[in-house]
Structure 1
Amino acid sequence: MKILHIIRSVNPEGGGPIEAVIQLSLTMQAQGHTIEILSLDSPDNQALINECPLKVNAAGPAKGVYGYSRNFIPWLEKHESNYDAFIINGIWQYQSFAAHKVLKEKKRPYYLFTHGMLDPWFKRQYPLKHLKKYLYWYWGEYPAIRDAAAVLFTCEEERILARQSFWPYRCNEIVVNFGTAGHIGDAEEQKQKFFEKFPSLRNGRFLLYLSRIHPKKGVDLLIEAFAKNLNQADDLQLVIAGPDQVGWQNQLQDLANRLGIANRITWTGMLKGDLKWGAYYSAEAFILPSHQENFGIVVAEALSCSLPVLISDKVNIWHEIANADAGLIAADTLNGCHELIEGWINLTSSQREALRHNALNCFRTYFEIGNAAKSLLSIITNS
């Protein structure tokens, strides 16, 4: 089978969707399928395109936040007959609108991952943006969702939440297994590379936040809660790893300065490859107090490294984490984040070891990429 994934960009700084596309695709390719990507990246950005391990058909450059490109529709009209299946990743940008237009005209079925972009958190947090989206919904985005062979959700929580944001809402909902390949490489070598890059963390203990630096991730709560817990663990440090997409890091560093904990936080920027895996294996626990998190590829990655996860109940896979006893869960508030850190500090060494054991079992049970690829292929071939 030849499958075309359609997505805004293959830039890894965009977060989990492109990483999930890559991991799913590599697994499917190993099973004999052919997978390509159609993106709105500029074909002139060869460094970015070459970094992706899949064939990228760059139909940009995209203009503005919406990502309009005059090259996208002509490319898809010319090449759609070369593919057996189409998967649209993400909504609210040009790729979903334009792909729907072409594929409906050609009578080609397609599948659509919303990747959490129908979560009602955005409705509550950004009411003016929500109103603008409502004006676009009926004629722009809703038809792409309504006409999809299936709208794919990565967990039951995401499917239920998606019904609460817009009306009308009608589609063929399917929950598909989702995940990642997990850890690859030599853990000890990766730890050494991480400590060579950040020597002040060697022989210390730290909590790891690894995700985009964005208001929806609750990084401000994390810093404030960390400051509140210092008296209970004066040797504990915090590592904040991820790209600063919206220019928020300076404000967060000012907050840390005001709280007197700037010397206890290491800002690493985005970590990739061995440095990323080295960070997972060097940390005591992974923490993500998000206000909204559709799936959380980074959570699954942490679990694959036997790393317990401290997450909010707005990370949509928190039920699976709780069922497996693979971490701690609390509300996405300052008190909730305080409870996560305090709860971890107060665990005994045997309790922490049990969580590490459960973390790896949780990954293998719920989030291993082979199961996810099998589930997606079954939907495509049987629907």
Structure 2
Amino acid sequence: MKLLRIISSIKPEKGGPINAARQIDRLINASACSIEVLTLDEEFSTDYPAKVHFTGPSRLGYGFNSNIEHWLEKNAHQYDFFIINGLWQYHGFAARKVLNKSCRPYIVYTHGMLDPWFKKAFPLKHLKKWLYWPWGEYKILRDAKAVIFTSEEERIRARESFWLYKAKELVTAYGTSGPPLNRQVLSDQYLTKNPELINKRIILFLSRIHEKKGCDLLIKAFATAAMEHKDLHLVMAGPDQNGYKRKLNELAEQLNIADRISWPGMLQGDDKWGAFYTAEVFCLPSHQENFGIVVAEALACGKPVLISNKVNIWHEIETDMVGFVDEDDTSGTLRNIERWLALDNDTYQKMSRRAEQCFTLRFHIDRAAERLIEIAKEHINDYPRQ
């Protein structure tokens, strides 16, 4: 069975969806199946673990690109099944148009892009989306063999964004691979590179530096907690894609905690895992998160997580008692930090062990790859390749 993943971009800085896809595709290509990737990106050097077909350049924020449509018309017959990742970009529109015409089966991962938070946070953008929805994304979802959600919370919330909605909904596993096991070596290496963190109790944020992620909430809550706990240090790791970091730095200066925050930028490989292993706790007070690959990565490293109830796997975090959950505001973020600080060492160690168990049982990438192959086999139609 040969699959094709269709996605707007494979650049790592685009966040969780492509980084999870990278790990899933590596596993698929190590199985009896194979997968390739079609993207709107212009060609660049990449170590992606599958053959990549670049169709860029693309135009406008929508990613308009007639090349992807022409490529699919010429090559779709070579594949048995198609996976569309994400909404609101031209790749989905082009894929539905060509695949429906040639009777080729596809599924769609929405990756939280139907969350009603966007409607409330960006009402003008939502109005523009409504103009496009009836003849664009609505039809893409309606005609898919399945629309994939990575948590029950995401599935339920997706129904609230547009009253015109029809989809064959399916909730399935998602996640990430396990971390390297040489945790002490990686931690020591990271501390050697960042000596200001030695002997500190580190709160780690690792995601895009973006308003949606609740970065300002974390800085404000940290400022309050740091007044009583002089050994606290906050690491704000991630790419700054829209200049939001400057406002956050100004906020930290106003709160007199700028010297207690590190901004290492985007972390990958050993640096990323070193940051996880060096931290005592992971915090993501996001206003909207369909899954949160970084939450799963923190659990894999045995780190309790402090998250908002807008991270859609919050039920699992509470059920497994592997962190604390509260509202996506400053008070809720502070309560999470204070609950963690109130733990004695024995209770913390037990929570840390449960975190690793939670990851293994719920969020390991092996199951996500297996389930994707199962879904493809379940939905491949009887049409011969044309």
Q: 1:367 aligns with which of 363, 370, 377?
A: 363
Match of 1:287 among 283, 288, 291: 283
Cα shift at 1:53: 2.6
Runs of 5+ consecutive residues of structure 2 not aligned to the other structure: 380-386
* Cα shift at 1:177: 0.8
- Measure the CA separation in 2 of the matches of 1:51 and 1:258: 42
Aligned residue identity for 1:19 = N
**Equivalent pair of 1:232/1:345 in contact (CA under 8 Å):** no
> For residues 205 and 56 of structure 1, what CA distance do their matches in structure 2 show?
42
| Aligned-partner residue type, residue 284 of structure 2 | L
Partner AA of 2:218 in structure 1: L
Unpaired runs of 5+ residues, structure 1, are none
Report the Cα distance in structure 2 between the residues aligned to 1:165 and 1:310, rounded to whole angstroms.
27
Report the more deviating stretch, 20-29 or 333-342: 20-29
1: CA distance, partners of 2:222 / 2:158: 32
Tell me how far apart the structure 2 counterparts of residues 301 and 64 of structure 1 sit (CA, whole Å).
33
Q: Does 1:335 align with 2:327?
A: no
Q: What residue is the counterpart of 1:111 in the other structure?
A: 107
Q: Which residue of 2 aligns with 1:22?
A: 22
Deviation at 1:56, TM superposition (A): 1.0
Does the CA contact (< 8 Å) of 2:199 and 2:231 recur in 1? no
Q: CA contact under 8 A between 1:208 and 1:238: conserved in structure 2?
A: yes
Whether 1:84 and 2:80 are equivalent positions in the alignment is: yes
Among residues 348, 355, 358, which one is paired with 2:351 in the alignment? 355
Match of 1:69 in 2: 65
* Equivalent residues in 2 for 1:43-58, closer than 5 Å: 43=43, 46-47=44-45, 50-58=46-54
Structure 1, residues 181-225: CA drift from partner, whole Å, max 9, x if none?
A: 121353223223312321211232210000000001000000000
Match of 2:312 in 1: 316
User: Superposition RMSD on alpha carbons, in Å?
Assistant: 1.0
CA distance in 2, matches of 1:54, 1:29: 7
Segments ≥4 residues shifted beyond 6 Å: none
SS in 2 for 1:51: coil
1:1-383 correspondence to structure 2 within 5 Å: 1-43=1-43, 46-47=44-45, 50-184=46-180, 186-383=182-379
Q: Distance in 1 between matches of 2:236 and 2:32?
A: 39
Q: Percent identity over the alignment? A: 52
Q: For the Cα contact (< 8 Å) 1:182–1:300, is it kept in 2?
A: no
Q: Deviations over 1:29-63 (max 9, x none)?
A: 222221111001102xx23xx23232211111111
| Distance in 2, Cα, partners of 1:202 & 1:40 | 43
- Mapped partners of 2:362, 2:58: distance in 1: 36
SS in 2 for 1:88: strand
Query: SS of 1:42's equivalent?
Result: coil
Q: Is the 8 A contact 1:119 1:161 kept in 2?
A: yes
Shift of 1:375: 1.7
Whole-angstrom CA distance in 1 between matches of 2:58 and 2:183: 39
Once residues 189 and 268 of structure 2 are traced to their aligned partners in structure 1, the CA distance between those partners, rounded to angstroms, is 12
Instruction: Report the secondary structure of 2:234's partner residue.
Output: strand
Q: CA deviation at 1:377?
A: 1.6
Q: Counterparts of 1:199 and 1:7 in 2: how far apart (Å)?
A: 39
Q: CA deviation at 1:376?
A: 1.8
Q: TM-score, length-normalised on structure 2?
A: 0.96
Provide the TM-score with structure 1 as the length reference: 0.97
Stretch moving more, 32-41 or 144-153: 32-41
Deviates more, 1:230-239 or 1:251-260: 230-239
Give the Cα–Cα distance (whole angstroms) in 1 for the partners of residues 96 and 145 of structure 2: 11
- Between 321-330 and 26-35, the greater mean CA deviation after superposition: 26-35
Asked if structure 2 preserves the Cα contact closer than 8 Å seen for 1:119 and 1:162, the reply is yes
Kindly provide the amino acid, as one letter, of the partner of residue 147 in structure 2: V
Larger displacement relative to structure 2 (146-155 or 186-195): 186-195
